[in-house]
Structure 1
């Protein structure tokens, strides 16, 4: 009884927080309205799914209860679309995205003949023998296949978006992608635990399943609070990239196939000297939101050619290329005895970073030391 009370209490709290956060995401003024609405939809679906566990408190018809349970089939598609909207600035919902409701429709359609359309007595009999019913077994397998495929798809989108970002941007959106990756890992862990719960549910250890169920509610609550904390403390965190941008590897491959790749050493050297001179004289790296498009516009070099020059010829991501100049500038400041009172935080903002963690990571990658230890070693 205590476990049931604890489970219900945590479920109610999680539902309330999910609905509160979804209301906040829908009403808050932001330029990322679609992303917010998609995540709000994900949270609402999550709250509806949790409500099934409170079914014995309310007189909910069996048809409605089973239908509510099938809402789970919409959760990961909603999350996947959310990932797309965060990663790509020009993402829009289109009719083709209706394909993502197919598993939800299939799961309900196969229940029509022997559950939804039969008498109450037949419904009760069906649920009593649910573990041996072909429809339930099929849906059980289908939902786990869906979980695996959507999580893999989400990780693939994040991997590609990160590569494109590194090749074209030098701002703070990397933190957004890193955080979204962490969030997806947390969500994957959640669904893995849910899988274990379902396995134990049909064994001779149902108590373990019930304990895992309570743990899932707690874990879910922590994940939601984590998102809420990030959203409130980093309102500008979720910036995205242009989906029309291509990976340099794909550009090089296309050019090789079409015999358009220019291997002129003279032209390469000229563009490289022009780029390095521009970086030293104009110091564009001081702009924390610098993109390869900005550099392309100033140098009058096509984005495609500039991207190949930096990412392919120099074998260095644009992100790392720009950060090298930022770190060199930071090192100059740290070596300057007249600026010994300037804090590391002030320095990182001065040289073009807008995040302490990204500055420390880049500095250590470039020098092997943290900014503080580097200053002390001088």
Structure 2
């Protein structure tokens, strides 16, 4: 009977959950179809990778075809990180589209197959088995390990750069509490980075000759993977539509600040007064999906000029600027004797928030107290 240990069990569970979640994401109706398909593809490819931990249960006697299929499956490890990177782009930018140039991300996969061609694809089963006796010391395998980890570092670094830029654009142009989307992506990048760091240490230990240490590291990696896959499920349940993004054509105000016609316009003071008056009288911030472009259209202003006024002249992100008015509105309701029956949940929706956690965070940032504490103090 073939051995079934903790690694095998965790591998089976991780694979099953990842495939189940992928099927759900592929089938769910959403306006973010590209993001969903990319994330589901990422899960499927990872599920194939996880299957290595229990594949021995189903393979009796390896033959030439089976060996080739196993090698081809292992080389699919070059595809998850490019797809993961494209997924981050698709979530950050609502106008993201797949293009032919994105196929260039598959070049490392093609190179890896060419490297494996002479001695792995084109040899007999007996020759392959002979090679496997020194498997970890073959130049092809060493090349695969180094290139895969290098690829992961490059794509994870690029992911953090893209996310940081998107978050800045979001703060300067959007007011909704979907900032949670960016927190989720940051956590996703962080956990994935930790996973690849542990995997890197595990592969280094593979060459140290310490079998027990390597086996322990392998167990840690498998359990880490299982934890992350379960976390994917929890997040997918919380964000079933898998996010909306920002327009990639938007630019940061620091890149607009050199426009002398705007920055030196003589009516900046009047425009600021007009903006404040409009916010106080018309209360556009009550719209939870208010964006800088929406506000500029309502005020019949140039959106670039409005962005510079808020982010440069008032020295605030649009996100904080709008939330400041929402918090002030909430404070007025909390101290109003006629509205003591309104719950905090009712109030946060009334003033333009759509998340209790983001409302509490913003409220405490502006007042130093939670909404409940503020209500009790007055």
Interval containing the TM-score (normalised by the shorter chain): over 0.9
Task: Provide the residue aligned with 1:364 in structure 2.
Answer: 364
Q: Gaps spanning 5+ residues in structure 1: where? A: none
Q: Are 1:28 and 2:28 counterparts? A: yes
- 1:67-216 to structure 2, matched below 5 A, reads 67-216=72-221
Figure out how many residues of one structure are paired with residues of the other and give that number.
373
Aligned equivalents of 2:10, 2:54: Cα separation in 1: 11
2:300 matches 1:295: no
Which residue of 2 is the match for residue 53 of structure 1?
53
The equivalent residue for 1:278 is 278
The two structures have a TM-score, normalised by structure 2, of 0.94
Once residues 242 and 84 of structure 2 are traced to their aligned partners in structure 1, the CA distance between those partners, rounded to angstroms, is 18
Q: Is the 8 A contact 2:6 2:219 kept in 1?
A: yes
After TM superposition, the structure 1 stretch with the greater mean CA deviation from structure 2, 26-35 or 339-348, is: 339-348
User: 1:224-281 CA deviation, whole Å, 9 max, x = no partner?
Assistant: 222222222333561111111111112224x2xxx544313x4101111111111011
After the TM superposition, which of the residue ranges 311-320 and 5-14 deviates more from structure 2? Answer: 5-14
Deviations 1:327-357 (A, max 9, x none): 1111111122222232211111111111111
Structure 2 residue runs without a partner (length 5+): none
Cα deviation, residue 297, structure 1 = 0.6
- CA-based RMSD of the aligned residues comes to 1.8
1:295-344 deviation digits (Å, cap 9, x = unpaired): 11111111111111111111100000000000111111112222223221
Runs of 4+ residues deviating >6 angstroms: none
Return closer, same or farther for 1:267/1:306 CA change in 2, 3 Å cut-off. same
* Distance across 2 between alignment mates of 1:2 and 1:291: 59
Residue 262 of structure 1 is matched in structure 2 by 263
1:249 aligned residue: 254
SS of alignment partner, residue 256 of structure 2: helix
Structure 2 residue 348 is the aligned partner of structure 1 residue 343: no
Deviation at 1:40, TM superposition (A): 0.6
TM-score (norm 1): 0.94
Secondary structure class of the residue paired with 2:263: coil
Structure 2: distance between partners of 1:42 and 1:340: 49
Check whether the contact 1:85–1:92 (CA below 8 A) recurs between aligned residues. Answer: yes
CA distance in 1, matches of 2:263, 2:192: 45
Q: Secondary structure at the match of 2:38?
A: helix
SS of 1:252 mapped into structure 2: coil
8 Å CA contact retained: 1:170, 1:291: yes
Q: Quick one: structure 1 residues 117 and 249, their matched pair in 2 at CA, closer, same or farther if it must change by over 3 Å?
A: same
The 2-side partners of 1:226 and 1:349 are apart by: 28
Residue 4 of structure 1: how far off its partner (Å) = 4.5
